[in-house]
Amino acid sequence: MSGEAEAYGPEFTLAYSTLIGDVWGSDAEEAKLQQDPTKYAKEKGLPVEAGAVVRLDRSQPDGLLKRSELVRGWSETPGTHILFVPEHALIDPSELTEGELDLIGAGDNNNNVCFFVLA
């Protein structure tokens, strides 16, 4: 496995998803993120390069975030990591089928789409 694949594999996706869920689920977590995105990302287990800064992007996308978009934002610019944390949840769990909920619960999203869903 290459270094990039290791750095941005399942652990990266899980840490990123957990961070977003924590921010969406708690005003206190959102305040910590807003106060110091770099420190917050490190605390949540994201691979922040030494000396790099984390720039927060709170824009609301038109659809679900793709893993490739998250990795590109995180790794594309040396010294700067873009952390996408939309203002609001991207989908409502009540809109998902039982099969989709089972896939999310099992962690099987084909590494293409990150389902940021709060139950």
Q: What is the pLDDT of residues 31-44, one digit of tens each?
A: 999 999 999 999 99
User: Which residues fall within 8 angstroms of residue 119, CB to CB, at 6 or more apart?
Assistant: 93
pLDDT of res. 119: 29
Assign 48 to helix, strand or coil: coil
pTM: 0.75
**Which stretches in the chain have pLDDT values below 50?**
1-2, 106-113, 115-119
Would you say the C-alpha torsion 78, 7, 85, 44 has a positive or negative sign?
A: negative
Could you state, in order of their start, the residue ranges of all structural domains in the chain? 3-106
Tell me the H-state helices in the chain: 3-7, 10-25, 27-35, 37-43, 67-75, 98-106
pLDDT of res. 83: 96
In contact, 15 and 46? CB cutoff 8 Å: yes
